[in-house]
C-alpha cells in the first residue's frame, strides 16, 4: 500500500512540475485614439509581431477604438497600427513592448496622427479621357530605412480620379503611376501636415513611340501567346514599365527614355525569361520577339536563351518549383 501511495505522489508531482513549465498565453489590450479629438478609431488593424521576423497576431479596433490581441506567448513584440485609405498615418512597428509571462499587458494605447492628402486625375493626353483602375502610389523618402517601410496606394476611379490619404509630414514624396503599355510616370510632391494638395494630374502621351515592342508565339506552329506579362527595367533592374500581350501575341511599351534596358517575360504556364542590354533609341520602337516551346517538350534546362534571328529569342517551357514560388527556373 505504501509502495502504491509513493508512486501516486511521485507521478502527481511529476505532472505538476511539467505543467509549471508550460507556456501561459495571454493578451495585449489597449485603445487607438485620433490625434486632436481623443476619440477612438474604429477599424484600425493592430499587428503584434514577435521580433522582426517572428510570428504575428492581429486584431481590429472596435467602434470605441479598443482592441484585444489574444493567445500571445511572453516576449518582446513590435506593434503596428494601420488603417488603409483613411486620413490617419499608418505606422509600422510604432511601439515595442514586453509581454510578461502569465500576465496580460493592458492600456497599450496609441495616438494616430492625421496626415496630408493628395488628389488628381490620370487622363489620355490626346482627348483628356479618363483612365480608370490605374495604380497611383506614393513612396516615403525614407523608404529604405529598415522598420520604416511606407507606401500608400490607390486605384483610379471610373473618372480617372484618385485620392491618397494619410501621408506623413516629410520633405518629399515620390508619386508615381503605372499605366500598362506605358513607362512609369512620376513626380515629387510636398504635402503639408493635415492638408490636401489638389490637381496633381498625369497626362499619358501614347504618341511617344520611344520604347520596346514585339510578339510572343509558340515555336512549333507560330500561334500567338495571349496574356504573357512583359516587364521593362533599367540595366540595374529598376522597374520602368509593364504590359500584357494581346490576343495576337503583340505587346508594346512606349514613353521610355533612350537608353539600355532589360526585358523580362513570364507566362502563367511557368515560363520565365530575362533578356539584358536592349538598346532603345529616341523616336524608335526596338523590336524584341519571343518564341516559346510547347509544355512538356523541354524540362530542367538551365540555359533557355537561343537566338533565332535579330531581336528574337527562344524561351523553353519550365515549371516553377511550386505555386507560391516567384517566377524562376528549376
> DSSP state, 114?
B
> Average per-residue pLDDT in the chain?
79
Show Cβ contacts of residue 300 under 8 Å, excluding neighbours closer than 6 positions.
Answer: 318, 330
- Among candidate residues 53, 77, 112, the one where a domain is terminated: 112
**Of 130, 284, 279, 290, nearest to 225 (Cα)?**
290
Q: Worst-scoring range by mean pLDDT, 169-173, 187-191, 278-282, 300-304?
A: 300-304
Rounded to an integer, the average pLDDT of 41-57 is: 89
Q: What mean pLDDT is predicted for residues 179-188?
A: 91
Domain final residue pick, 160, 176, 204: 204
Smallest Cα–Cα separation from 174: which of 151, 197, 196? 151
The answer to whether residues 300 and 330 touch, using CB atoms and an 8 Å cutoff, is yes
What distance in Å separates the CA atoms of residue 280 and residue 283, rounded to the nearest whole number? 9
Tally the domains of the chain.
Answer: 3
pLDDT (0 to 100) of residue 6? 53
Confidence of residue 151 (pLDDT cuts 50, 70, 90): low
Q: Please check whether residue 14 lies inside any domain of the structure.
A: no
Residues in CB range of 239: below 8 A, 6 or more apart: 184, 231, 232, 233
When pLDDT is cut at 50, 70 and 90, the band that residue 327 belongs to is: very low
Buried b (16+ CB within 10 A) or exposed e, 305-316: eeeeeeebbbbb
CB contact at 8 A, 188 and 108: no
pLDDT at 17 over 60: no
* Residue 106 per-residue DSSP state: -
Report the CATH number at residue 234: 2.60.40.1120
For the cut 70, the answer to whether the pLDDT of residue 125 exceeds it is yes
Residue 280 placed within a domain? yes
Dist. CA 330–CA 326, nearest whole Å: 11
- Name the one residue in this structure whose C-alpha cell is 512583359: 230
SS3 of residue 241 by DSSP: strand
pLDDT confidence bin for 162, thresholds 50/70/90: very high
Domain presence at residue 5 = no
Q: If pLDDT is split at 50, 70 and 90, which confidence band does 141 have?
A: low
Phi-psi map region of 237: left, alpha, beta (phi>0 left; psi -120 to 50 alpha):
left
φ and ψ at residue 209, rounded to 5 degrees: -80, 0
The answer to whether position 15 is within a domain reads no
Whether residue 135 has pLDDT greater than 80? yes
Task: Out of 156, 172, 204, pick the residue that ends a domain.
Answer: 204
How do 285-287 and 259-266 pair as beta strands? unpaired
pLDDT score at 80: 92
* Structure confidence at residue 172 (pLDDT): 76
**Residue 216 shares a structural domain with residue 297:** yes
Better-scored residue on pLDDT, 277 or 133 = 133
Give residue 56's domain range: 23-112
What is the model's pLDDT at position 45? 96
Helix (H) or strand (E) holding 124: strand 116-124
pLDDT recorded at residue 79: 94
What predicted TM-score, i.e. pTM, was given to this entire model? 0.69
* Arithmetic mean of pLDDT, 17-30: 68
pLDDT band at 313 (very low <50, low <70, confident <90, very high): very low
Task: Please indicate, yes or no, whether residues 146 and 234 belong to a single structural domain of this protein.
Answer: no
Predicted pLDDT of residue 11: 47
Residues 106 and 121 in one domain: no
Amino acid at each position: 500500500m505504501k509502495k502504491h501511495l509513493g508512486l501516486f505522489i511521485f507521478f502527481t508531482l511529476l505532472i505538476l512540475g511539467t505543467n509549471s513549465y508550460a507556456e501561459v498565453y495571454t493578451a495585449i489590450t489597449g485603445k487607438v485614439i485620433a490625434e486632436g479629438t481623443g476619440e477612438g478609431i474604429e477599424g484600425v488593424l493592430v499587428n503584434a509581431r514577435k521580433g522582426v521576423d517572428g510570428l504575428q497576431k492581429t486584431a481590429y479596433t472596435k467602434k470605441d477604438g479598443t482592441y484585444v490581441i489574444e493567445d500571445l506567448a511572453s516576449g518582446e513584440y513590435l506593434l503596428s497600427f494601420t488603417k488603409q485609405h483613411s486620413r490617419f498615418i499608418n505606422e509600422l512597428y510604432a511601439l515595442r513592448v514586453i509581454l510578461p509571462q502569465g500576465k496580460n499587458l493592458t492600456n497599450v494605447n496609441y495616438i494616430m496622427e492625421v496626415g496630408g492628402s493628395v488628389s488628381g486625375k490620370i487622363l489620355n493626353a490626346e482627348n483628356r479621357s479618363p483612365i480608370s483602375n490605374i495604380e497611383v502610389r506614393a513612396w516615403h523618402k525614407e523608404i529604405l530605412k529598415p522598420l520604416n517601410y511606407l507606401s500608400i496606394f490607390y486605384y483610379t476611379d471610373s473618372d480617372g480620379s484618385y485620392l491618397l490619404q494619410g501621408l506623413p509630414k516629410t520633405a518629399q514624396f515620390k508619386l508615381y503611376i503605372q499605366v500598362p503599355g506605358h513607362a512609369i510616370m512620376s513626380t515629387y510632391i510636398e504635402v503639408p501636415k493635415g492638408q490636401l494638395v489638389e490637381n496633381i494630374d498625369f497626362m499619358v502621351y501614347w504618341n511617344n513611340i520611344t520604347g520596346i515592342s514585339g510578339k510572343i508565339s509558340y515555336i512549333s506552329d507560330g500561334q500567338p501567346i495571349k496574356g504573357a506579362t512583359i516587364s521593362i527595367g533599367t540595366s540595374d533592374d529598376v522597374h520602368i514599365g509593364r504590359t500584357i500581350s494581346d490576343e495576337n501575341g503583340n505587346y508594346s511599351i512606349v514613353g521610355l527614355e533612350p537608353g539600355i534596358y532589360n526585358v523580362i517575360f513570364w507566362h502563367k504556364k511557368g515560363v520565365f525569361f530575362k533578356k539584358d542590354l536592349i538598346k532603345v533609341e529616341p523616336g524608335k520602337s526596338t523590336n524584341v520577339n519571343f518564341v516559346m516551346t510547347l509544355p512538356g517538350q523541354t524540362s530542367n534546362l538551365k540555359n533557355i536563351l537561343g537566338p533565332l534571328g535579330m531581336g528574337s529569342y527562344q524561351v523553353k517551357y519550365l515549371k516553377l518549383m511550386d505555386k507560391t514560388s516567384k517566377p524562376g527556373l528549376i
